[in-house]
Structure 1
């Protein structure tokens, strides 16, 4: 049996990763292409995912300023817990769609490091930890949904206002509140997109604002189709 493909949808905050992952899964099902969807971190699924939920909520101190190597290991171990599930699905020939994966670790933890040369060194170290030490599956394709920082922040504020967005124990997500952190993460993602062959970037906004969900989905589907259907 031919191995399946591992596809990750990533993006900065407010880019609609979860929505696009679900739309892609549904579209593939309509085309009779077997697929499965996973979201990361696995807050309700994995031991380390639950711990990450507590950290992001501020339960264990200032997670934003925790050393990126230490923080990134927690995220990597969450994915490590799901590695067998991913490999089993790929062995069955399925398309595995992940809403965030190792790329999120690179983007957000790399965003903590101001100096570019230190950031590049960290990204190389993290790649070795995830894929050589822990043997976490490497995605065949990473689609990065790019949204300008100002729009991303605006979308998050609107989301909080309408849904009173909270994490574990009713504490606001301390990471998303830091503008500088988001800006550095955005810079890291743009750099990675120029360096990684398996990355494809979709700009989710134009001069008029955010593109429609349907328009973005059609571009996602086109990119995935070229991989899945050859």
Structure 2
């Protein structure tokens, strides 16, 4: 891991876990202490990411293998593009906070297509920009379904009880698999927003180069 990667933090979790809210709160808190932050997300806002969003919005059709490959391509572009890519922002001195990264592919696509393929396909992105910290906000599937049904007019393809059970199980499997390779902190997402934010701050403080 190079020094730049030590300022790279990723939020993970099943839909409705609150990671996007917490990513924004962490960005604000880091800004308050004078740390410049680039907040980003996957799928990205670039052309491949927009294609993925069109699939999720039911404007395009694609099978799981195609979706998995699109995420690989979008992620690599997200890492290396010279406009607002992750590596570019790290080189410019920003701390980068990303809402979803390769653990999402391992959990979402790796639960439907061979996990080994998904991990190998994402290997270059992992090599080029490996986070110092993955924050996995864990919630029960029942709470996930309750939250997303209240906040969505239309559910995305993965947002069914059956799929989310599979995805959460895949997350837990991958976290165990990578426990000696990646710094992954699991936080109870059923607690209050403020409590979760404080646990995240404690985890971030342990990343010494921030």
In structure 2, the CA distance between the partners of 1:103 and 1:60, relative to structure 1 (3 Å rule), is same
Corresponding residue SS for 1:185: helix
Q: Which residue does the alignment assign to 2:174?
A: 192
Q: Tell whether the 8 Å contact from 1:72 to 1:105 is kept in structure 2 after alignment.
A: yes
Alignment gaps of 5+ in structure 2:
none
Q: CA RMSD in A?
A: 2.1
CA distances 1:27-73 after superposition (whole Å, capped 9, x unpaired): 1111112221101112xx21111111111122333x5xx23x43211
Output the CA distance in 2 between the equivalents of 1:97 and 1:191. Answer: 24
Q: Which residue does the alignment assign to 1:70?
A: 66
Q: Which residue does the alignment assign to 1:57?
A: 57
Q: Tell whether the 8 Å contact from 2:76 to 2:124 is kept in structure 1 after alignment.
A: no
Offset at residue 181 of structure 1 (A): 0.9
Offset at residue 136 of structure 1 (A): 4.9
Output the CA distance in 1 between the equivalents of 2:67 and 2:47. Answer: 15
Q: Which residue does the alignment assign to 1:12?
A: 14
Q: Which residue does the alignment assign to 2:186?
A: 201
Give TM-score scaled by structure 2 length: 0.86
Output the CA distance in 2 between the equivalents of 1:173 and 1:124. Answer: 25
Give TM-score scaled by structure 1 length: 0.79
Output the CA distance in 2 between the equivalents of 1:147 and 1:156. Answer: 12
CA distances 1:86-128 after superposition (whole Å, capped 9, x unpaired): 1122223321100111111111112225xxxxxxxx3332222
Q: Which residue does the alignment assign to 2:157?
A: 174
In structure 2, the CA distance between the partners of 1:70 and 1:222, relative to structure 1 (3 Å rule), is same
Q: Which residue does the alignment assign to 1:148?
A: 140
Matched, 1:158 2:150: yes
Please identify the structure whose Cα radius of gyration is greater.
Answer: 1
Corresponding residue SS for 2:206: helix
Q: Tell whether the 8 Å contact from 1:130 to 1:136 is kept in structure 2 after alignment.
A: no
Alignment gaps of 5+ in structure 1:
114-121, 167-171, 206-210
Aligned length: 200
Offset at residue 11 of structure 1 (A): 0.7
Output the CA distance in 2 between the equivalents of 1:146 and 1:223. Answer: 15
Offset at residue 135 of structure 1 (A): 5.4
Corresponding residue SS for 1:139: coil
Output the CA distance in 2 between the equivalents of 1:15 and 1:133. Answer: 25
Corresponding residue SS for 2:48: helix
Deviating runs (4+, > 4 A) in structure 1? 133-136
